[in-house]
Amino acid sequence: MAAVQRLLRAAAPGGSATAAAAAAARRRMTSLAPSAAAGFPFAAEERVRRRPMAERNVQWVFLGCPGVGKGTYASRLSRLLGVPHIATGDLVRDELASTGPLAAQLAEIVNQGKLVSDEIIFNLLSKRLKKGEDQGESGFILDGFPRTVKQAEILDGVTDIDMVVNLKLREDVLLEKCLGRRICGQCGKNFNLACIDVKGENGLPAIYMEPLLPPNNCMSKLITRADDTEEVVRNRLRIYNDMSQPVEGFYREQGKLLEFDLPGGIPESWPKLLQVLNLEDQEELKLAAA
């Protein structure tokens, strides 16, 4: 897998602002070359070409515990920088809903409660990036992937990852946030009923997050995810922490890991994230991505 094509042209809608943001983002990147990995699980026709950093948009990874907000911040940055936001969970769901060659195999794996293999995940990811390249997309932000060092090594062998943003949040806040999640059974939108107001103590910062309340027409239709119980959430966080430490170390050794402690909800965290990414001067883009 590799970089896709050149930066979005300034002549495209919003292109000049997007190009400015992308240029600012590239100034934040390191120039370390990734290590190669052998045995790529891709057919030749599914691979896309590598391009020099100057000829493409950003290629970032977003990591973080379940419920930390990876999807929220990755999607905002994807709009700001003009790059696709790619979550492997979405790729699996899209394939399951399709009549593609992997749909039946995936359905059997999911129905049996098994983990989707690295080979299948990378095939789906490769196909998605190749499709984007053919359509003129540039760069990407991967959401919550890779999850293991093996996946990171394979990914390094087929594409260039410029930076890995690791979002962090106090575990007690994560727990409260996950337990407050609700989904509208009719429209499918996500909301959060938790109003988090945690005082700073024992060296941990104070955190305030306003609830994300639904409109009146959704209020009576809210449902709780079956796996959003305290026991299950604590177990998910424990498993994630055990698995993530080697991956974080892998990218830390490459000088690509940016650790970002969320100071609060979106109003507090979004401007600070833009600041550490050297995008804080893009005022019009802050509004466009909000």
pLDDT digits (tens, 9 = 90+) for 235-252: 989 988 998 999 999 999
Q: Which domain holds residue 277?
A: 54-84+137-229+241-289
Contact assessment for residue 60 and residue 163, using Cβ atoms and an 8 Å cutoff? yes
Q: How far is CA 3 from CA 48, 156, 161, in A?
A: 7, 12, 9
Q: Does 68 have pLDDT greater than 60?
A: yes
Q: Has residue 199 been placed in a domain?
A: yes
Query: Does a cis peptide bond (omega within 30 degrees of 0) precede residue 34?
Result: no
Contact assessment for residue 51 and residue 153, using Cβ atoms and an 8 Å cutoff? no
Q: Residue 202: give its domain's CATH number.
A: 3.40.50.300
Q: Pick from 131, 79, 102, 142: which is nearest to 289 by CA?
A: 79
> What tens digit of pLDDT does each residue of 140-155 get?
999 989 989 999 999 9
Q: Has residue 222 been placed in a domain?
A: yes
Of 150, 236, 252, 272, the active-site residue reads: 236
Predicted pLDDT at 15: 45
Q: Does 222 have pLDDT greater than 90?
A: yes
Q: Does 18 have pLDDT greater than 60?
A: no
Q: Residue 2: pLDDT band by 50, 70, 90 thresholds?
A: very low
Predicted pLDDT at 33: 35
Catalytic, 181? Answer yes
Q: Residue 10: pLDDT band by 50, 70, 90 thresholds?
A: very low
Q: Does 271 have pLDDT greater than 80?
A: yes
Mean pLDDT, residues 51-67: 83
Mean pLDDT, residues 255-283: 89
Catalytic, 238? Answer no
Q: What percent of the chain has pLDDT over 70?
A: 77
Catalytic, 236? Answer yes
Q: Has residue 272 been placed in a domain?
A: yes
Catalytic, 147? Answer yes
Q: What percent of the chain has pLDDT over 90?
A: 42
d(CA 231, CA 243): 19
> What tens digit of pLDDT does each residue of 73-124 get?
999 999 999 999 999 888 988 899 888 778 888 888 877 777 788 888 888 9
Of 70, 76, 127, 128, the active-site residue reads: 70
Of 47, 79, 131, 147, the active-site residue reads: 147
If one counts the domains in the chain, the total is 1
Contact assessment for residue 43 and residue 171, using Cβ atoms and an 8 Å cutoff? no
Q: Has residue 236 been placed in a domain?
A: no
Residue 177 carries which side chain, given as an amino acid letter?
Answer: K
Q: Has residue 77 been placed in a domain?
A: yes
Predicted pLDDT at 32: 33
Q: Does 46 have pLDDT greater than 60?
A: no
> Which residues lie closer than 8 Å to 127 by C-beta, 6 or more apart?
46
Average predicted confidence (pLDDT) for the chain: 80
Of 130, 177, 181, 256, the active-site residue reads: 181
Catalytic, 26? Answer no
Q: pTM of the predicted model, to two decimals?
A: 0.76
Mean pLDDT, residues 216-221: 95
Nearest-5° Cα angle at 150, 145 to 152: 40
